[in-house]
């Protein structure tokens, strides 16, 4: 599974058309942790996430503010195009999968 880039201009329309579970990663081109996570996220999310999206905070600053992104990388789950929850988990196979499953069992959070 590959990441699709989202910008301020196509973020909401693209997600609205995304059925199932999507994971959005806010990152930056100078963020080493972001590059590492981006390389392993497809394996960590296999079978749990239908789509992976990436937002560059340097070019989409309004989105970063809207989602209150204060550190990179920042991850957010969407279900059927609607915000569901932020995702905070160690990028280890069992831990990350359990965090996704737990977040999806919980009621949806209010969108920032």
* Helix orientation angle between 93-105 and 32-45, rounded to the nearest 10 degrees: 70
Please state the separation of Cα 58 from the chain's center in Å. 16
If you ran DSSP here, which 8-state letter would residue 73 be given? S
Share of the chain above pLDDT 70, in %: 100
Query: What's the predicted TM-score (pTM) here?
Result: 0.96
Average pLDDT of the residues of the chain:
96
Q: Contact at 8 Å (CB) between 10 and 67?
A: no
**CA 38 to CA 79: how far, in whole Å?**
20
pLDDT of 32: 96
Phi first, then psi: give them for residue 78, nearest 5 degrees.
Answer: -125, 140
pLDDT of 1: 85
pLDDT of 37: 96
Q: What is the mean pLDDT of residues 2-31?
A: 97
For residue 72, give the H/E element and its range. none
**CA 88 to CA 65: how far, in whole Å?**
18
SS3 call for 27: strand
> pLDDT tens digits, residue range 34-83?
999 999 999 999 999 999 999 999 999 999 999 999 999 999 999 999 99
CATH class of 3-105: alpha beta
Domain regions of the chain by residue span: 3-105
């Amino acid at each position: 599974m590959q990441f699709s880039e989202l910008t301020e201009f196509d973020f909401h329309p693209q997600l609205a058309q995304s059925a199932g579970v999507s994971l959005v990663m806010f990152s930056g081109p100078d963020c080493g942790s972001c590059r590492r996570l981006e390389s392993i996220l497809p394996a960590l999310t296999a079978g749990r996430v239908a789509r992976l999206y990436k937002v560059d905070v340097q070019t989409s600053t309004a989105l970063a503010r809207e989602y209150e992104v204060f550190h990179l990388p920042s991850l957010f789950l969407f279900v059927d195009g609607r915000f569901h929850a932020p995702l905070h988990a160690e990028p280890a196979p069992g831990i990350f999968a359990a965090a996704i499953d737990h977040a999806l069992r919980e009621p949806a959070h209010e969108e920032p």
